[in-house]
Structure 1
Amino acid sequence: MTLPFGQLPGVRTVPFAQDLATHGDRTALITHDGEVSYRELAARVAATARRLGRDRRLVLLTGANTAEALVFYLAALTAGHPVLLVPGDSAETVRSLVAAYDPDVVVRPADGERAVHERRAGSAHVLHPDLALLLSTSGSTGSPKLVRLSHDNLQANAESIAAYLDIRDSDRAATTLPMHYCYGLSVLNSHLLRGAGLILTDLSVADPRFWELFRLHRGSTFAGVPYTFDLLDRVGFATMRLPHLRYITQAGGRLAPERVTHYATLGRRAGWDLFVMYGQTEATARMAYLPPGLAAAHPQAIGIPVPGGSFRLRPLSDQAPHLADPPGEGVGELVYTGPNVMLGYAESPADLRLGRTVRELCTGDLARRTDDGLYEVVGRSSRFAKILGLRVDPQRVEAMLERHGVTAYCTGDDEELVVAVADDVDAGQVRRLVAGECGLPVRAVRVCVLVELPRLASGKPDYRTVRERTRRPENVPAATTASPPAQAPTDTEPADPVALGRLYAEILDRADVSEDSTFVGLGGDSLCYVEMSLRLERLLGHLPADWHELTIRDLCRPPRRRATRRRTLETGVALRAVAIVLIVGSHIPLFLVQGGAHVLLGVAGFNFARFHLTAAPRRERLRHTWHSIGRIIAPSVAWIALAVLLTPGYDPENVFLLNSVLGSHEGRQEWHYWFVEALVYFLIATVLCLAVPVLDRAERRWPFAFPAVLAALALVTRYNLLGFDLRVRHLAAVVVFWLFALGWAAAKASTVWQRLLVNAAVLATVPGLFPDQQQRELVVMAGLTLLVWIPSLPSLGPLNRVAGVLASSSLYIYLTHWQVYPLLADRSPLSALVLSLAVGIGYATVATRVMRRLPALLRRGGRGDDGPRAARPVPQLHG
């Protein structure tokens, strides 16, 4: 008898992987390269099975939502090779598991394909005949502790899931979760079992392209973890038209009951079902599901056991004396039994020879059974922390905070409970709520404010990273503690991450700095970019061009040794420095080289795109942009108000930056601050535009086309085709907006053709802006052309420092020079220039310090001693 697909004699396999061809010409996979039928998939699996050989071996496979990865997975299952499935995006995890388990074959991406590295012809291990799959218990880390799953486990769980979801051969599921995560893998297994289609994609549900793909290919279902539903809220899922959607599944952590009710109700109105599910890797994937009809009435329940499984509640009599708050009558540890329960754990290669060592699964969850026969999880026994003698359930704390609208991850040790929250949360209120809930003194609760709560690739909370980022370092002083200046490292020495962390915390006024922080991720903008770059260069001795997007960890790595190290200066910084000198010098006038202010408008658009249009969620991007707008408006209004009070020629409209809208336009002095007004108008208009979800999604999808279209539309007002009454045309915000949009497009131009397009637009549209002032137009065209094509210019260390100070102070020099240079212009124009620059630099120093301290002062003034300032931790630099 010929064994199918190269199956090894005497070895059990997984039926759904063997039976692919029985589904004929039905569509199995939908990829970027087209559709693959089940018949074609079966042939590819058979060929790959033969490629893996007839000697049974341990195959390490990096997971990915691609046809190639899926084919190797099915081929190994079909031929009987145990698969060690690992994250495809973590080289460190691959290295650690290769070292720990010494696989015989490693299959991973290389040059756009799956490379098969056969480390030996046979196997170095004794492999139990039932062993089919090895998965990490966390789905992310490189821990050597793995879950051993059998062929029966995979088949049984796929069958039970397909049964209660009523998966049909006409269904098409989109891959919203990683393949190496048991939940994501169960979607693949159960749909392949029924001959359904799989839409293979790595696109996030926050990406508009995902929904285009989903509609185009008649997607009928997708899976989500709690974080997925946060993303659905952001993208306006409730208003989407998805005519083929039949149901959504949710697992991977507890979804708040009110969210369950909301989505169950939404689904009932739109004609699709919500399946809330419960599972663990140790049970292959699923142990329970909540029938959709019960979701709205019982949103707190995990439901009933999956077909073929059963629950029992193990009494807590041996645990009750240790609980600060007994869990309630009828509560016990949830224990599951079923054909999908793992064979057992593996902690070393020697464990791969073992058969079944586990008969039932003690979940570690505390649960009760309701009168309706539904199970509810009420706590987690294994996550209890004993703090000051009291046993605290972090999951209960998280649920309490969620009821108050706060998403938090909690962990703890013998001394304190640590609560990690996002940076838009009132930390003081959180601290008091938690202390009151747990009966702990306030001093035993530490609230750590993080830029973003860390999650695993599966979307689950990453408690390991939370513990690392919030751990109190033993020997790291507070950010405010004085310390000797750090010396620049040598070519082979790493930089000091603690020193860099202090610097980031000081300049950005953040207490949540970690080694994974970036300048952009912490809300850095153009106002503090130059100061940060100069001080980083002194600490590092070098500065990569993309440093603002690199983590502190990456910045601290020693650079490759170079024969010589040439200093460079970023073109944007150079243009800001040169432009402000030209502006002041021409106003005195010491010389007459005009056009600098209009160059700065292009640079402003360029920096806006670099520092604010990041991959962060929409609300975070908007928050950072509003913060930057405030940092421009506050010092501007303060100085202009002083000028209006003490000097003639200005109107009250100037104070409110409304001269170009409401001013009388009769005097030249009224227009002194046109540049500040235009910059503020542009930023506010842009942030309001991107606050609209559909426009935010459009900008993310078409990062270059979006500003290019804006620039094209702005030509209507550039040439005043609408016939506005413009008194000073080249100073009107509606006229010069196209320069800001072109700078934005220049920052997002990633190809030569895109840069050529921007440069052509500059050369075609700047002429005519200043009638009979050809020199002025040449300055603007030259400056913007440099910005488009030249990222950095050759420079010297001293020149960098001078240019850096001028560039970082350029806004403040512009504000103050109008009142300063007249004091000396008649006697010594050069002295007037020097004094104007010096006063502006001085005002920049004062304003920057005040703006950094203002939020803390406002918090301190508005809250008591146990408010956020007391609760915020020192910058932590772990992991």
Structure 2
Amino acid sequence: MEHGGVTLFPVDAFPADRLAALDDSGQVLSYGDLAQISMRLASSVRARTVALVLVRNTLGCVATIVALIKQGVVPILLDASAAPATIALHRERYQPDVLVLPSDLQAQYPDNPCLLRMLDYAVLASENQASRCPTHPDLALLISTSGSTGSPKLVRQSRGNVLSNAQAIASYLNIGPGDRPVTSLPLHYTYGFSVLSSHLQVGATLLVTDRSVMEKPFWTFIKEAGATSLAGVPYTYQMLKRLGFLRANPGSLHTLTQAGGKLSDALVREFAEFAARSGIDFYVMYGQTEATARMSYVPAGRALDKAGSIGVAIPGGELFLVDSEGGEINAADVQGELGYRGPNVTMGYAEQRADLSTGDERRGTLLTGDLALRDADGYYYITGRLSRIAKLFGKRVSLDDLEQICLGLVTEVACTGAEDRVTVWVTDCEHTAALSGLLAERTAIHASAYQVRLIDSLPRTPVGKTDYRLLSSRMQA
């Protein structure tokens, strides 16, 4: 299917024998295979229906997601390891017409007949298909904003959203047919999915694995397969440093990308310096699921002198700032809420099947909920989040700012807040006694407002972000 004359996932446009994906067991998938699988799916599943996809990083999952979107079926991407109650809640809310899942999970759904098998994935019929509500003709994909909470609230992404963001990412990262990105992030996560969409859009080859950067087979695979790019969230880069990546030969890797949260300025500088001396490109990026994936990036050559910045808008997009009255801020170094305009701004949210017939509610403009400022060169810097503000003795304080202050003494930190009290969670006991004093000095708020607690390790979401929700629940326990 096309949007504006351009095909999303144009698998027929590439040589049939060109490699589309290779997994860590040696199995391969060509662009011709993707085209054939898409045609097979069309004979079994009607367009404009909804598929609940239980996602693993496998060739079958890659092929299935591409086939569903190409044939106009709307997939809901959900982690295959999600709790049974989470899967059941999504089935109840969205009444999917088909279930798409790894074949080894099929036995858990004995009442759902198999319609089709695609490599290691099976497509199962659901119940009462005739009673389903219609989906909007522009709707292409449903994806969660949070992989950790199990919330059924999903973001409605249109075909134009996915295509424009894939094209923009491919443009500023200079992605071409010879590139080989590794699936270092889950495909049900918006950042992980954007790696798939931006590379398959230009005929590149995905290196597919479910392994993490902490596992030796991951590194064996990317070395043998000739990986050219690696994507990671802040936790990924913290682990890379611990593993000695900054002292290693990058081999075939020529691009590193980082998004999914703020990486400390110190680590940005370390990786930017490593990239400069290794002759590779390091991109710090910013995005939200509500903008499909990506809104801004720091050009590779500016990562060092613009450490801490989220950069400039992606091709085709525009960043802006608004004050508390909604007026646009034009002056440099003035904080406001960050906004974005562009064709990748998604249609809105959904919480049930009936919402899938709704059209575009955002009209190309998104207020992100992040606080930011713009420097004299036009580069943007996140300074906090509207919902990450604590009120200490009548003074509003950004929890994100407090974390950045603490990173001068400790390597890992997370701040959670309640009325007149911030809990500072750290994994390093060496400097805990000094943190309250440091924060008091920097914020001019009495040290009694800061409670430092030692924790073995910070809880992480499935995509490596700090799980503030879990920390807050521990604080209340």
**TM-score normalised by the chain length of structure 1:** 0.50
Q: How does 1:796-811 map to 2 (within 5 A)?
A: none
Of 171, 185, 189, the match for 2:193? 185
* Match runs of 1:208-607 below 5 Å: 208-316=216-324, 329-359=333-363, 360-422=365-427, 424-471=429-476, 473=477
Deviation at 1:464, TM superposition (A): 0.9
1:239/1:174 CA distance change after superposition, 3 Å: same
Map Cα deviations across residues 337-367 of structure 1 (whole Å, 9 max, x no partner): 0000010111232221110111311011122
How far has the Cα of 1:201 moved from its partner?
0.5
Distance 1:20 1:189 in 2: 15
For residues 773-812 of structure 1, the aligned pairs below 5 Å read none
Question: What are the within-5 Å matches in structure 2 for residues 632-781 of structure 1?
Answer: none
CA distance in structure 1 between the partners assigned to 2:179 and 2:267 by the alignment: 26
Of residues 126, 146, 167 in structure 1, which corresponds to 2:154? 146
Please list the CA deviations of residues 127-175 of structure 1 after superposition, one character each: whole Å capped at 9, or x if unmatched. 1111111111123321122111100000000000000001010110001
Question: CA 1:123 to 1:184, structure 2 compared with 1: closer, same or farther past 3 Å?
Answer: farther
Match of 2:52 in 1: 60
Find the counterpart in structure 1 of residue 75 from structure 2.
Answer: 83
Structure 1 Cα separation of the partners of residues 356 and 3 of structure 2: 15
Letter of the aligned partner of 2:124 in structure 1?
Answer: H
Q: Cα 1:406–1:262, aligned 2, differ >3 Å: closer, same or farther? A: closer
Q: Which moved more, 1:94-103 or 1:177-186?
A: 94-103
Q: Does 1:44 align with 2:37?
A: yes
Counterpart residue identity of residue 227, structure 1 = Y
For residues 107-127 of structure 1, what are the alpha-carbon distances to aligned partners after superposition, in whole Å with 9 as ceiling and x for unaligned? 122427433332133451221
How far apart in 1 are the matches of 2:155 and 2:58? 24
Q: Give the superposition deviation at 1:102.
A: 2.2
Q: Does structure 2 conserve the Cα–Cα contact (< 8 Å) formed by 1:23 and 1:195?
A: no
Q: Which secondary structure state, in structure 1, belongs to the residue aligned with residue 43 of structure 2?
A: helix
- Among 4, 20, 25, the alignment partner of 2:17 is 25
Q: Per-residue deviation at 1:414?
A: 1.7
Query: What SS does structure 2 have at the residue aligned with 1:163?
Result: helix
Aligned AA (2:164): A
Mean Cα deviation higher: 88-97 or 151-160: 88-97
1:133 aligns with 2:137: no
Shift in Å, 1:236: 1.5
Amino acid at match of 1:19: V
- Choose 1 or 2 for highest CA Rg: 1
The residue type paired with residue 116 of structure 1 is: V
Task: For residue 389 of structure 1, report the CA deviation from its aligned partner.
Answer: 2.0
**In structure 1, what is the equivalent of residue 114 of structure 2?**
none
Residues 416-459 of structure 1 show CA distances to partners (whole Å, capped at 9, x for unaligned) of 21222225454332233334434433333222322210111111
Maintained 8 Å contact 1:20/1:39: yes
Aligned residue for 1:17, secondary structure, equals coil
Alignment partners' CA distance in 1, 2:241 and 2:417? 31
**Deviation digits for residues 666-696 of structure 1 (CA, Å, limit 9, x no counterpart):** xxxxxxxxxxxxxxxxxxxxxxxxxxxxxxx
Q: What corresponds to 2:63 in structure 1?
A: 71
Counterpart of 1:342 in 2: which secondary structure? Answer: coil
Aligned residues: CA RMSD: 2.3
In structure 1, distance between residues paired with 2:346 and 2:326: 26
Which SS does the other structure have where 1:129 is aligned? coil
**Amino acid of the residue matched to residue 115 of structure 1?**
A
Aligned to 1:101: 94
Structure richer in strand, relative to its length? 2
- With over 3 angstroms needed to count, the CA separation of the structure-2 counterparts of 1:382 and 1:23, relative to structure 1, is farther
Q: Is residue 11–residue 34 contact of structure 2 (8 Å, CA) maintained in 1?
A: no
Structure with greater contact order relative to length (CA < 8 Å, sep ≥ 6) = 2
Distance in 2 (alpha carbons) for counterparts of 1:464 and 1:348: 24
Q: Secondary structure at the match of 2:378?
A: coil
User: Any idea what SS the aligned residue of 1:382 has?
Assistant: coil
Tell me how far 1:386 sits from its aligned partner: 2.0
Stretches of structure 1 that go unaligned for 5 or more consecutive residues are: 1-6, 320-327, 474-879
After TM superposition, give the deviation of residue 20 of structure 1 in Å: 4.5
1:115 counterpart = 2:130: no
1:470, CA displacement in angstroms?
Answer: 2.1
Letter in 1 for 2:171: A
Unaligned 5+ segments in structure 2 are: 106-119
Equivalent residue number for residue 711 of structure 1: none
Question: What's the CA shift for 1:13?
Answer: 11
1:281 to 1:384, Cα distance in 2 relative to 1, 3 A: same
Q: CA deviation at 1:14?
A: 8.2
The residue type paired with residue 244 of structure 2 is G
- The 2-side partners of 1:63 and 1:439 are apart by 48
Change (3 A) 1:105 1:68: same
Deviations 1:206-251 (CA, angstroms, capped at 9, x unpaired):
2222111111111100101111111111221123233321110011
1:226 and 1:251 in contact (8 A); partners too: yes
Equivalent residues, number: 456
Three-state SS of the structure 2 residue aligned to 1:179 is coil
Q: Which one-letter code corresponds to 2:421 in the other structure?
A: E
8 A contact 1:11–1:129 mirrored in 2 = no
Q: Which residue of 1 aligns with 2:108?
A: none
3-state DSSP of counterpart to 1:460: coil
Would the aligned equivalents of 1:167 and 1:191 in 2 still touch at CA under 8 Å? Answer: yes
Structure-2 residue corresponding to 1:638: none
1:329, 1:218 → 2: CA distance?
43
Q: Distance in 2 between matches of 1:149 and 1:100?
A: 18
How far does residue 96 in structure 1 lie from its aligned partner after superposition?
2.5
Q: Is the 8 A contact 1:20 1:195 kept in 2?
A: no
Secondary structure class of the residue paired with 2:414: strand
Amino acid at match of 1:465: L
Q: Distance in 1 between matches of 2:142 and 2:4?
A: 16
Shift of 1:317: 5.4
- Separation in 1, partners of 2:374, 2:142: 32
Task: Answer yes or no: is the 8 Å Cα contact 1:315–1:332 preserved in 2.
Answer: yes
